[in-house]
Amino acid sequence: MVAEGSPAPVVISASRRTDLPGRYPHWLAEALGAGEALVERPYGGGVRRVSLDPAGVHSLVLFSKDYSPLLRDEFGLRSALERHRQVCCHFTITGLGGTRLEPGVPPMSQALEQLAPLAAWLGDSRRLTVRFDPIVYWVEAGEVLSNLDAAETVLEASASVGVRQVRVSFAAIYRKMARRGVEWHDPPWKEKVALARGLVARAEALGLSLSACSQPQLAAAGVLQTGCIDGALLSHLHPDGLAAPRGKDRGQRADCLCTPSVDIGSYGMTCPNGCLYCYANPRLPTDPLPSP
């Protein structure tokens, strides 16, 4: 319960801007231990101090492509997270781990092995969302390739550990992606919707719901339109029944359905996953290493 007169508890996002659990577990563990994070605001807006006091945090929502540091309790990360009443995880598995498109990400087989222990640690498999995100197309030797073939494996593995929700999206082709040495292919929306319709049918056969955020075109294929950070779901799953913030997060894109949260990542923390389709700030193989 929140004491009368206390600020409403916030949802912490960690993070849309970089892979904190997988690539900055030391930073995340230290911030949680200190009870606060100093966060660089985007676009040179200075530094924000964000309280991570468990009494003022409704839920911690983690985003990662590799939860092995958490599962091994590296730097005391798992122990620090367990001070909070609710942790939810978004786990991105695209089937591209270890390829040139995701050079710093574990291969799919290693990622899938993390699903069962992660769901068990969270205490309720509804707190684990698998993201087959993005579906991406590129050209090699005149042939259009895609990671779509990996969808069946990811869906089946998700269903086998009790995951209820798999999130999907098609890659948005940003101008800066063209400078990363890949010839990208962007199918028309009519084709994407047809492909999504097949994914929905397979997901439903496995007892999964397929959802998306910021791609309303996929609603025509039966893909549910829900926010990645869903205040209603977080409220429903909270051990104390505590209500999470609701409404639209005005800091996100126009089509985004996420409810309000505070992100503690920074685009200055370049991501060693090095995903070539990333909209944020991946650390590419050709980039110099950061100063110690």
C-alpha span between 106 and 66 (Å, rounded) = 7
This prediction's pTM: 0.94
**Per-residue pLDDT tens for 11-50?**
999 999 999 999 999 999 999 999 999 998 877 778 999 9
**R_g of the chain computed on alpha carbons:** 19
Q: Which pLDDT score is estimated for 287? A: 62
**Per-residue pLDDT tens for 260-272?**
999 999 998 999 9
Burial class (CB in 10 A: 0-12, 13-18, 19+), 186: middle
Q: Is the pLDDT of residue 4 over 70?
A: no
Q: Is the pLDDT of residue 183 over 90?
A: yes
CB contact at 8 A, 183 and 143: no
User: Judging by DSSP bridges, how do beta strands 143-146 and 183-185 pair with one another?
Assistant: unpaired
Contacts made by residues 251-256, CB under 8 angstroms, sequence distance 24+: 252/214, 253/214, 255/213, 255/214, 255/215, 255/216, 256/213, 256/214, 256/227
Confidence of residue 292 (pLDDT cuts 50, 70, 90): very low
Average pLDDT value for residue range 192-196? 98
Q: Which pLDDT score is estimated for 269? A: 93
Q: Residue 238 corresponds to which tokens in the numbers above?
A: 């909270």
Q: Which pLDDT score is estimated for 291? A: 47
Q: Which pLDDT score is estimated for 6? A: 56
Q: Which pLDDT score is estimated for 286? A: 63
